[in-house]
Amino acid sequence: MRIARDKREQSSWRRQIECWRATAGEQHMRDGYIRWYRESAATPVLAAQAEAFAAYGLRLVHPGKGAAVVLDVEGDDVLMSPEELGRLLGLRIASLTVDWWLSADVDVVVEYAYEPLGCEIQTLWLDGLTPEQAGAVEAAVLAAAAALPVPTRAVVVDRKGAGDPREWDSPVLYDGENVPPPPDRLLLGPPVADRLLAALPELRGEPAEAGLTALTRARPA
């Protein structure tokens, strides 16, 4: 059985192991993730996101507990109604970690964070999922990006966790031109895609889902 508390309890020792490996020079893989940047967190969208996610089998309310599950700082489950969770997210005063559910035993841990520029970042962790389940989560994010009224700035899909999700904050949020190694998929909204394509000729763009542009590195001639 895979539950959110396991993920939180593992995070502390996982960070310790990663620090030890980095010191020892060992190459290792991180957890896979999807990092979703929304242009603004000012418009409440949790209910619309839940509706879009539900079409792909990803639900906010635990099927057995009848409530949304939020992780507190100790990693314990805090049950609350979706309405109360939406209110907390709307305050935008602190990061929150929330479970979304593919079944009563299979969860997707989602970290909500807010940047000074007003953007919301959702990081959805894919560890422990089958390829089919991870694909459903990716499809749910792109469906929500297309359906929600707030534009999406970027969606980064790194299924194997080859990079650190925070490395994308600079090019996506702060006009940085140092682009990390390409993930499995890099989908950008017009402002970010246009800027990076103009600044970095080695990149090429193609139309993708949700009105986004998929960026890849051009192959050498």
pLDDT at 88 over 60: yes
What mean pLDDT do residues 11-28 have?
A: 36
Instruction: Give the span between the Cα atoms of 220 and 202, in whole angstroms.
Output: 9
What is the greatest pairwise CA distance in the chain? 56
pLDDT at 119 over 80: yes
45, 150 in Cβ contact below 8 A?
yes
Instruction: Detail the DSSP E strand segments found in the chain.
Output: 33-38, 68-71, 77-80, 96-101, 107-114, 120-125, 152-158, 185-188, 203-207, 213-217
Tell me the CA distances in angstroms from 144 to 6, 15, 80, 130, one per residue in order.
Answer: 27, 31, 23, 21
Percent of the chain scoring above 70 in pLDDT: 85
pLDDT tens by residue, 191-217: 899 999 998 888 999 999 999 999 998
What mean pLDDT do residues 83-95 have?
A: 90
Instruction: Give the span between the Cα atoms of 6 and 13, in whole angstroms.
Output: 11
Q: Which two tokens stand for residue 137?
A: 């989560």
What pTM was estimated for this model as a whole?
0.85
pLDDT at 26 over 80: no
What mean pLDDT do residues 152-165 have?
A: 95
Instruction: Give the span between the Cα atoms of 89 and 114, in whole angstroms.
Output: 10
Q: Across all residues in the chain, what is the average pLDDT?
A: 85
